[in-house]
Chains A and B, each alone.
Chain A
Amino acid sequence: MKLTKRLFLGLAAGSALATLPLSALAEGWQPRRPIDFTIMAGPGGGADQIARFVQSVAEANDLTNRPLVPTNRGGGSGAEALLHLKDARDPDHTLMVTLNSFYTTPIRQEGLGVDIEAFTPITMMGVDPFVLWVHKDSGITTFEQFVERVKEMDGGFVMGGTGSGQEDSIVIAYMAGAYDLKIKYIPYDGGGAVAKDLAGQQIMATVNNPAEAKGFYEAGDFVPLLAFSDERMEAYPDVPTMKEKGHDFSYYNQRALVGAPGMSEEAAAYYREVFGKVYESDEWQKYLVSESLSPLPMDEAQTRAYWATQVQNHRDLLAKIAN
C-alpha cells in the first residue's frame, strides 16, 4: 500500500511539473495565488454590487485559474483601499474596483501621498450617470418647476446626498451654482439611504444613480427631472439633459478595474484579457442595460489620458464647492 501511494504521489507530482511550464509558456503570465480584489466601498453599494457581479461572471466562465477574493476597504471614502493598493506587497495579484473617490479622495486628502497616475489601468467596465429625482407628491414634473420651487422656498428646500465632496454633492453644487439656488444639503452614508428618505419624503429631492432609484421610479413614486449625461438616456428618453438646458456639464461615476502601482506588463495584459472577456459577456452587457450604465470602452493610453482630465475636472469642481 505504502509503495503504491508513494508511486501515485510521485506520478501526480511528476505530471504536474511536466504540464506546468508548458501551459505557462503557452499562455504567458498566470496568477500564482488568489487575487486580492479590493472594493473601494462598503458592502451593498454600487461598487460592491459590480465587484461581486464581475467575480461571479469570471467564476461561472472559469476565466481565472486562481480565485478573485473580494474585500471591502471603503474606509475614509476609499482612502483605505488606495493606501492598500499603493503599499501592495504583491502588485501582480492586487486589483481594485473603483468609483469616483478614486479621483476625489487623493485631491481632498493630500496627506495620503497617493498618486493615481501610478496605478495600472485594467478595464473600464462602464460609467454610471446621475439623475435628479423628486417625489411624485411634490407635484413637480419639470426641471423648470423644480428651479422655481427651490427659489420660492429660499433656502428651505432640502436635498439629500452621500456627503460633501462625494459624487452627488459635486452635481448638486454645480446645479446650485448654475441656477443660483439655495439648497439645504443633508449628507447620508449611502445612495440607498438617500433614496429611501426621498421615498418617505424626509427630503425633497436627490441626485441618485438610476440603479438606486429604479425600484421607486417603476412603482411611480419618483419622478426624474434632469439627467447629467452627455445625451438623453435610453431608459429615460423623455428626461432632458443639463447640456440641453445650455450648461456644458455632465457627470458620471466610473466603474473601472484598476491594478496596483508597479504591476508588471505581463500581469496587466493578463487581467485586461480576462476582464475584457467579462465585459463582453452576455451577463455584463445585460447588466449595463438593466442598470442604465453607459459603456465607455478605452485602452490603456486612453484610460491614462481620461484619468488626467478627470483629476483636473475634479480639482476644479472641488475648488468651486470650497468657495
Chain B
Amino acid sequence: MEILSFLADGVLLALLPINLFLIVIGVTVGLFIGAMPGLGSVNGVAILLPITFLVPPSSAIIFLAAIYYGAMYGGAISSVTLGIPGASTAVATTFDGRPLALKGRASLALVTAALASFVGGTVANIFFTLFAPLLASLALSFGPPEIFALMLLAFATFVGLGGDDIPKTVFSICFGLVLASVGFDTISGEPRLVLFDIPGFLRGIGFIVLAIGVYGIGEMLWTIEQTRGEITSMNPKMTVKGMVEDAREAARLGWRGTTIGSILGFFVGVLPAAGATPGSLMSYGVAKMMSRNPQDYGNGTPDGVAAPEAANNSASTGAMLPMLTLGIPGSPTTAILLGGMVIWGLTPGPRLFVDESEFVWGLIGSFYISNVAALVINLAFIPLFIWMLRMPFTILSPLIFVLSIVGGFAASHSMHDLWLIVIFGIGAFFMRKFDYPLAPAVLAIVLGPIAEPTLRQSLLLSSGDPTIFFTRPIAGPITVIAIVLILLPALKLFRRNRAVVHS
C-alpha cells in the first residue's frame, strides 16, 4: 500500500497548476511533432530540452515526458492520413491505418489509434507502478543471446505468417538486412559497404530514410499509378455521434490487438536496446499471427492499427524503466531524457527511487495524467486531420511529396539522405509492382542493427558455439519458438501437398 500513497502524492504533484499546464502544452506540441513525418519524439525532446531549465527538475521531466507521450499519439496521425509514418514508432500503423483511410474510414483508424494508445499507456503505467524494481532485474538478465533470440522471434512472426509469398518475404528481409549493415561495424570498428565511397554512407542508412522513401514517395507513386490521379479519399463529415460509433467499433474490433500490443510492447520496451519501434512491429506480427483472420491484416483491420499503437505507447513507458532504475536508456528519446536528468543534477540509477522518490513518483504520476490529456487532446484534433484528408488528391499528393522531403531533411540535415529517400521511393514502387512485400524490409532495417551485433557478441561470448542460444534459460525457449514459427509454413506446405496426393 506504500506504493499507492507514493503514487497519490505523485499524481497530486502532476496536478499542480504549473505541471498540468506543462502537460497540456507538452502533449499538444508532441502531438504535432509526432504527426510531422521525419520528426519524432527524439527531435522534440532534444529541441525543447534547453528551455526546461526555467522550471524545477520535476516539472522539466514532466514536460519532456508529456512531449514524448504526445509524439507517440501523433505518429499515428500521418501514418493514417498521409500513409507516411509520422515517427519511426508508427510504421506498423501505416500497414492497416492507410488502407482504412483509403476505404473512407480514416476516422475509425484514428479513433482506434487514440483508444489503443490510451489503453497501452495505462496498462504500462500500472505495470510500471507495481513492478518497477522487479522488471529492472529482468532487463538486466537479458544479455546479447537473449536479445538476439527475441529479434529472431520478431523475424519469425513476419516470415511464419503465411499468406504472403514466402520466398519474396525472405528476399525482402534480406534486402533490408543488407541495407542495415551499411555503414560502420561496431564489432570490428571498420566501415563497410560504403557504397561508391560516398561518405554519407558511413553513417549507415537511417531507418527513417527508408520509411519515408517507401511509404511517402513510393506509396504516392503507387496511388497515382493505380488511380490515374482520380482518387479523392472521401471521408464522411465528422460528427460527435460518428466518433462515438467509431469508438464502439474500435473497441469491438480492436480489443485483441490492443491487449497484445499493451503487454508485448511494454516488455519489449523495458529491454534496453529494443525500444518502441521493434515493440510495435513485433506486436503487429504477433497480433496477425494470433488472429483468426490474418488475411484481413494489411487490408485495413482496426486490430492492425490497435496492436502497434497500443504497443508503442506501452513501450515508451516501458523504456523509461531501465532509464530510471538502471540509468540505461531503452530508446534514443530516453537517452536524451537521461542527459537532461544529469544536467538537472540527478543521478539515474539504482539509487534514484530511494534518493529522489518525490521526483520519480511525480514523474510516474504525470504518466497517468499525460495519458488522459493526450487522449482528450488527440480526440479533439481528429476532425482537423480528417478535414485535411478531404483535400483533392491533386493537392494532397504534392503536399505529401513536400512533407516527405522536408521531414527527411529535418531528421538529419543531409542532402545525401534526401537522394536516398527519392531512390528508395522509386525502388519501392517497383517492388510493389512485382508484388514484393515492403513491410519485412522495413522490419529488417529496424531489427537488423540490433540482431546483428547481439548475434556476434553472443558468438564471441561462447567462442563460436551456437548452442549458447539453446542452453541459456531465457534465450533457449525463445529461440525454439522462433524456429518453430519459421518452419511452420514449410510444414503446412508439406501437408497440403500430401493432401493433394491423397485426393
Which residues of A does B touch, CB under 8 Å?
A: 42-45, 48-49, 52-53, 55-56, 59-60, 70-71, 73-77, 79-80, 83, 108-109, 112, 158, 163-166, 184-189, 192-193, 195-197, 199-202, 211, 214-216, 218-219, 221, 286-287, 290-291
Contact = CB atoms under 8 A, between A and B. Distances in A.
Contacts of B139: 196, 200
Given A43-B42, A53-B342, A216-B350, 20 more contacts: A42-B335, A43-B46, A49-B342, A52-B50, A56-B50, A109-B191, A112-B199, A165-B189, A184-B463, A188-B186, A193-B273, A196-B140, A196-B326, A197-B143, A199-B326, A211-B342, A215-B349, A221-B350, A287-B343, A290-B347
A60 B141 CA distance: 41
A79 B339 contact: no
B50 A59 contact: yes
Contacts of B141: 200
Nearest to A60: B53
Contacts of A215: 326-327, 347-352
A112 B184 CA distance: 14
A87 B345 CA distance: 37
A74 B345 CA distance: 26
A187 B187 contact: yes
Interface of B: 42, 46, 49-51, 53, 139-144, 183-184, 186-189, 191, 199, 202-204, 272-273, 322, 326-329, 332, 334-336, 338-340, 342-343, 345, 347-352, 413, 453, 457, 460-461, 463
6 contacts: A42-B332, A76-B199, A77-B184, A187-B189, A192-B335, A218-B351
B461 A186 contact: yes
Contacts of A109: 191
A50 B348 CA distance: 16
A49 B326 contact: no
Contacts of B184: 75-77, 79
Contacts of A164: 187-189
A53 B345 contact: no
A311 B453 CA distance: 30
B343 A163 contact: no
Contact of B191 (A76, A200, A202): A76
Given A215-B326, A215-B351, A290 B345 contact: yes
Nearest to B185: A163
A60 B54 CA distance: 8
A48 B339 contact: yes
Contacts of A45: 335
A44 B413 CA distance: 19
A205 B414 CA distance: 39
A192 B349 contact: no
